[in-house]
A and B are shown apart, each in its own frame.
Chain A
Amino acid sequence: MDYTNQIREIATKLFAEGKIDVFVGYRTTGFDGNQVPVLINGPGEADRLVFTDQSVFNLVNYLKHEHTRRKRVGLVVKGCDSRSLNLLLTEGQVKRENLYVVGIACEGVVDEKGEKLQNCTECVVPDPVVADVVLTPAGIRAGTPAPAVPKPYNVNPDVEKLLALPLAERTEYFEEIFESCIRCNACRHSCPLCYCAKCCIDQETATLYHGANTTSSAFHALVTWSLHLAGRCVDCRNCEKACPRGLPLHLLHKQNEQVIYRNFQEHLAGVVEGDRGAFYKYSLRDPDDFIM
């Protein structure tokens, strides 16, 4: 999966036609082929852009930043990124007419060791759901993407393994996770769907004060955060890539996603245009047996 040349061509063309002010893509850092997001402001810089199977980050996150606000933006999205973009469009955070979306028919991205990421092996919608052009191995496909044929849903092995454990062992496992958290909030800042100007978990942010950076406050912050993303999280795992402690944050999100998928008519966030998430609709047949 290498679309470097196509993306450079498209970016140069868009700048020449004056369709965009800024282009968001990936560039190499020079260390082991690692890639980081880059914002390109003119056609002269277009040769910095790359796209290979090491382009792991979700660039939709950059649409909520000041340097892309109220500008016409070109953007590279993979399958999972396009689902989060779909949600931002539905929630009115970005305007479709200000965007030029370059979609990638994604075959999965790899980590530093060259292994496919776990969420890519479990991916249900690899093709972008929102795009102006789609880059495929066969060539450039224009216009609206073909209706996505969802692949079979895969349960997360980590979550299943934990669910099989007795309660006490699970408690211990998660206590260790929350104890390692340093409350840097990188997970929230890297999340494309966390755009609130004021966040409710910030009331315990002040790490200089006594007890603010504790297991208890990490529990409060991470659990509240994951519950506010439940039914919207698209499993791009930007949070996990951003976490300096390497915490398995996907466990919280995948657990929520699986409960939602099993109980609420196989709901998957961001796949259908206009769908705001599992908590913004209801069915009369929703499970009720846990309520007295």
Chain B
Amino acid sequence: MEATTDQLVSIEKPAITAPPDWEPVIIGILCNWCSYAGSDLTGTSRLQYPPNIRIIRVPCSSRVDPWFLVKSLQTTADGVLVSGCHPGDCHYISGNYYARRRFLVTKNLLNFLGFHEDRVQFSWVSAAEGPKFAKVVAKVTEDVKKLGPLHLYKKENFSK
């Protein structure tokens, strides 16, 4: 079915009220060598953390293209957490130093465009820091819960 120009122009904006049982969706992009192992340790230590995070494993935090963050926010996520090795601990010597530069620019640009700075968060979590990972996820979830669902530029609000 073809959409007329009028239909395309008059896109109704959804109400910004969260349903009472709303839970945020958080995309967690974790580096294989530190943060992913750290999250594993959280699990094996039987520490509880919010189930809102959906974890994606990447080889290194420098594998994270700013595109991933933009795409996550555009499609499903209400918040994004990117986590990697501490500076100096990178499995590939210097990957997280490159990543750090990209994160700073990405975070600033998204904030410039109107996203709250708590929507996109970064952390360094080593493989031994299980409790820290639980705390980080709890903090990110709480921050995003306070902000409410993300409607800005969401794909589903604009299709058809």
Chain A interface residues (CB < 8 Å from chain B):
159, 162-163, 167-168, 170-172, 174-175, 178, 200, 210-211, 213-217, 219-220, 223-224, 226-228, 230-231, 252, 255-256, 259-260, 263-264, 278-280, 282-284, 286-288, 290-292
Q: Is B114 an interface residue (CB 8 A)?
A: yes
In the bound assembly, the distance between CA atoms of A171 and B154 in angstroms comes to: 14
Q: Say yes or no: B104 contacts A263, CB within 8 Å.
A: yes
Interface of B is mostly: helix
Specify which of A214, A216, A223 is in contact with B109 (CB 8 Å cutoff).
A223
Q: Which residues of B contact A224 (CB under 8 A)?
A: 66-67, 70-71
Bound Cα distance A286, B153 (Å): 31
B26 to chain A minimum Cβ distance, whole angstroms, is 14
Check A284–B87 contact: CB distance below 8 A.
yes
Q: B124 interface residue, CB < 8 Å from A?
A: yes
Q: How many residues of B contact A (CB 8 A)?
A: 43
Q: Residues of B at under 8 Å CB distance from A?
A: 1, 3, 8, 11, 66-67, 70-71, 74, 87, 94, 97-98, 100-114, 116, 121-124, 136, 139, 152-155, 157-160
Q: Which residues from B are CB-within-8-Å of A223?
A: 70, 109-110, 113
Q: Is the CB–CB distance between A216 and B155 below 8 Å?
A: yes
Q: Considering only CB atoms, which chain A residue lies closest to B135 in the complex?
A: A292
Query: Is there an interface contact between B66 and A227, defined as CB atoms closer than 8 Å?
Result: yes
Q: For B104, give its contact among A159, A174, A220, A290 (CB under 8 Å).
A: A290
Contacts of A210 in B (CB 8 A): 1, 3, 159-160
On whether the beta carbons of B124 and A292 are closer than 8 Å, the reply is: yes
B101 engages A282 (CB within 8 Å): yes
Sample of 10 more A-B contacts, CB < 8 Å, known A159-B112, A256-B109, A286-B104: A174-B114, A211-B158, A216-B158, A219-B74, A223-B70, A227-B105, A264-B101, A284-B97, A286-B101, A291-B100
Contacts of A215 in B (CB 8 A): 11, 153, 158
B residues within 8 A CB of A174? 113-114
Q: In the complex, which residues of chain B have a beta carbon less than 8 angstroms from the beta carbon of A170? A: 112-114
Which residue in A162, A175, A284 is a CB contact (below 8 Å) of B112?
Answer: A162
Nearest-Cβ distance from residue A188 to partner chain B, whole angstroms: 14
| Contact call B160/A279, Cβ cutoff below 8 A | no
Q: How far is A259 from B157 in the complex, measured between Cα atoms in Å?
A: 31
Knowing A220-B71, A282-B101, A288-B100, say if A255 contacts B87 (CB, 8 Å): no
Asked if A231 contacts B104 (CB within 8 A), the reply is no
A163 touches B112 (CB 8 A): yes
Output the nearest chain B residue to A210 by Cβ-Cβ distance.
B160
A280 CB contacts on chain B under 8 angstroms:
98
Q: With CB as the reference atom, state the residue of chain A lying closest to B117.
A: A290
